[in-house]
Structures are given as C-alpha cells and as structure tokens.
Structure 1
Amino acid sequence: MTGLAESYGADFRGALPFGDRPALIVVDAVTGYVDPAAPIYAGGEHALPVIARLLGVARQRQIPVIYTVVSYRADGADGGLFWRKLPALRAFVEGSPFARIPDQIAPRADELVLTKHYASAFFGTTLATDLAARRIDTLVITGFSTSGCIRATALDALQNGYAPFVVSDGCGDRHPAPHEANLFDLQAKYAEVVTADQAAALMAGKA
C-alpha cells in the first residue's frame, strides 16, 4: 500500500464507536471457501480459528450470533444476473457439500442462520429487521470473501444504521491484493477494521 495512504487526507480518518449492543455475523463461512477442491475456494482456512475464537467470546458474553449461507436452486432461477455472471456459484446449489458450515464453527440451535442469494447479507434477507428486533447497534463482521460479501455487508450495515467492525484476520480473499485493498478502503470510508484481538476485547467489554 506504499503511497496509497498519502492520497487519503484527514477527511478520511473518521471513526465509528463500538456500540452497547453488538452482534457477531459470520458471513458465508462455508466449506466452499476453505476446501481447495471447491471451484469457489478462497484460501480461507486461516480465518476459521479466528472465527471460532470470536464465537466463543460472543457466546460467553451472550452477544447474538448470526450466520449467513448461500444456496441456489439447481436451475439458478433464484440467482438472477449474479448466477449468470459468476458460474462458480454453482458450488452452492442446494444440498452441495461446499455449502455447509464447517464443524469447528457450526451454529448452535439457538443461533440464526440466514440464506442469501447475493453478496450483501442484508439484500433479500430479514437481517435488518432481525437486528432491529434485538436492538443491535454494531456488527462484528467475519467470513468470506473480503472484496465481495464482506465489503457488501459492511457497506449495507453502515447504510442501515449499524456500525460495522470488520475483523481483518477473520476474513479472507483469493489474493492478498483485493483483501488488503478492500480492508484499506473500508477503513477509510465505511467501517472500522480491527484485528481479532481488538474485536475480542471490544466484545468482552459488553454483557
């Protein structure tokens, strides 16, 4: 990122507060992104222990946990132009083993799992109303991929009035360049980008 930071002046250095009622959202942390055999593989294995750690903190502090998964009909009719643009989404046809959440970060029975068809966890789902019903004000965001569903979810969180805190080492992408560039831009404009250590400390301070 040499030279990039210098092009962003003081007006890109605002900060968002970590609210009193956070939720942890695990975006599309499914086998397809961590299994090299999957056509949509994103090399995300490193993020699984991070997500598992943050799940432990959230559950201990009784902070709501929400998951998203992607699932499509076999004909892709519910995927629209996204399905047409990205053939790799066929890895997420309903019933595919690539669409399941790995056991080490599996949801509990009392945790919400939302199915989505597009990048943002908000688009076409009940996420906004689910968060409002719980009076959530902050989202701790993990999962895959940084340049796609993480970015889209963070942006929509901000636009829906929820402070997004993106966990840098709890996300992943297919190449370091889009990962780092999107984290940089999210921090500059739309979100707070934090490490797992920082996210854990912030969540641990909330009952």
Structure 2
Amino acid sequence: MSAAGLTYGPLGEHCAHLCVDMQRLFAEPSQWATPWITRVLPRIVSLVEWKAEQTIFTRFLPAQRPGAGVGTWKRYYQRWASMTIDNIGPEMTELLPQLSCFCPPAQVIDKHIYSPWPEGRLQALLAERRVDTLVVTGGETDVCVLATVLGAIDIGYRVVLVTDALCSSSDATHDALMTVYRQRFAQQVETVEMETVLSAWS
C-alpha cells in the first residue's frame, strides 16, 4: 500500500538521507558549475534540518593534478585540468556552507569517482546503522546521482529519489534520466517530491 505517494509505504527508522556532492565546486563559477544547485538547495536544507542525524553527504574529490588518475581518469583529468585540486584549491571541495553547518551530526563520505560504493566506506556505515532505504538528493542527476542510484539498486536498497531536490547542468539528460528511473527501475526506485518525503518520514 502506498503512503503519502510512496509506492512501498512510509519511511521508517532504517532510512537514511544520502545527499550527493552538494559542494562549492559545483555551485561557484567554474567549468563544472551546476546552475540549478541554488534552486534545489533550500529543499535539501529543509530535509537535513529535520533529519541531520540520518543524513550522509558524499563529496567528489578531483585528482590532485592534471593528468593524474588511472586508465580513462587520466584522460579525464587532462581534459578537466582546470578542475584539479592544484588549480581550484582544496577549499572548493567543501560542502556548501548551508549544509556543512549540520556536520556533525550529519556525516561526510569522500569519494574519488562518480560512485560512492567501490571504496567501501559508505556501505560499511550504512550496514552499521542497519539502513535498508535511501532518500537520495543532490547532483548531478545524470552523473554522480546516477552512479549512486545504480549502485544502491545492485546492493538491494530501496531508493527514494527526491525529484525536486536533484540538479544537473543539462535539462535534456536530467529529463531523460527521470524517464529511465520511472520506466525501467520502478521496483527499486520511487520518484517523489520533497513534500512527500517530509510527510512520510516519521
């Protein structure tokens, strides 16, 4: 039975809010700027304010220097040399200040690739907390959020994707991914707006 718009019922005590890469390097003027980030930030803040202890932020850490990395990541950081730590400074990897003020009790997991799963720290934390449901917000819908959601599906988490708390630098691929989530992953992914999450997570 659905609860407040959720196909598989209300959100319980084994739920966590996973907020993907809401960082300065995506909000401030740069080649990776995501214009929508300021639009979705207030909604994300509203959830973090209410569920700070259940919130986990991921941070994407670029390579230290141009051309660093393994395999295609080396080519990636040749292309995006301007976005390496040596060029942007480590402070640009920090969470947006509207969110970092909640840490602690919210926690931060760093990653060096799109997905937060291969490095193992996130999964260990979720297992320790006996989490079975992830409420996902952040950016970008079609890159790091995509990698996060697909990994969560493979592990077996129930995924609740908050549609009005996601951002991307591309309207077209954001819309395309929302169609994919709804049409191809309906057994594992529920797409709802923030109002539904706030009313359904006791």
Which TM-score bucket, shorter chain as reference?
0.7 to 0.9
Verify: 1:128 aligned to 2:123, yes or no: yes
- Counterpart for residue 202 of structure 1: 200
Equivalent position to 2:32, from 40, 46, 53: 40
SS of residue in 2 equivalent to 1:101: coil
Tell me how far 1:160 sits from its aligned partner.
Answer: 0.6
Within 5 Å, which residues of 2 pair with 1:24-103?
24-35=17-28, 37-43=29-35, 44-59=37-52, 62=53, 64-75=54-65, 77-78=68-69, 80-85=71-76, 87-88=79-80, 90-91=82-83, 93=85, 95-103=89-97
- Structure 2 CA distance, aligned partners of 1:89 and 1:58? 37
- Counterpart for residue 157 of structure 2: 162
Structure 1 counterpart of 2:58, one-letter code: T
SS of residue in 2 equivalent to 1:29: coil
Tell me how far 1:200 sits from its aligned partner.
Answer: 1.4
Cα deviation code 1:27-52 (max 9, x no counterpart):
100012222x1110111211110110
Tell me how far 1:193 sits from its aligned partner.
Answer: 1.2
- Structure 2 CA distance, aligned partners of 1:89 and 1:169? 32
Structure 1 counterpart of 2:18, one-letter code: I
Instruction: Judge conservation of contact 1:140–1:166 (CA < 8 Å) in 2.
Output: yes
- Structure 1 CA distance, aligned partners of 2:74 and 2:168? 19
Long gaps (5+) in structure 2: 1-6
Equivalent position to 2:145, from 140, 145, 150: 150
Instruction: Judge conservation of contact 1:40–1:88 (CA < 8 Å) in 2.
Output: no
Instruction: Judge conservation of contact 2:11–2:200 (CA < 8 Å) in 1.
Output: no
Identity of aligned residues (%): 24
Structure 2 counterpart of 1:41, one-letter code: A
- Structure 1 CA distance, aligned partners of 2:105 and 2:74? 31
Instruction: Judge conservation of contact 1:72–1:78 (CA < 8 Å) in 2.
Output: no
TM-score (norm 1): 0.80
Cα deviation code 1:10-41 (max 9, x no counterpart):
xxxxx555553110011100012222x11101
Q: What is the aligned-residue RMSD (CA, Å)?
A: 2.2
* Structure 1 residues 198 and 100, CA gap change in structure 2 (3 angstroms): same
- Counterpart for residue 10 of structure 1: none
- Structure 2 CA distance, aligned partners of 1:112 and 1:201? 23
Structure 2 counterpart of 1:68, one-letter code: T
- Structure 1 CA distance, aligned partners of 2:113 and 2:10? 27
- Structure 1 CA distance, aligned partners of 2:70 and 2:161? 26
TM-score (norm 2): 0.82
Equivalent position to 2:103, from 83, 105, 108: 108
Tell me how far 1:184 sits from its aligned partner.
Answer: 1.6
- Structure 1 CA distance, aligned partners of 2:161 and 2:81? 24
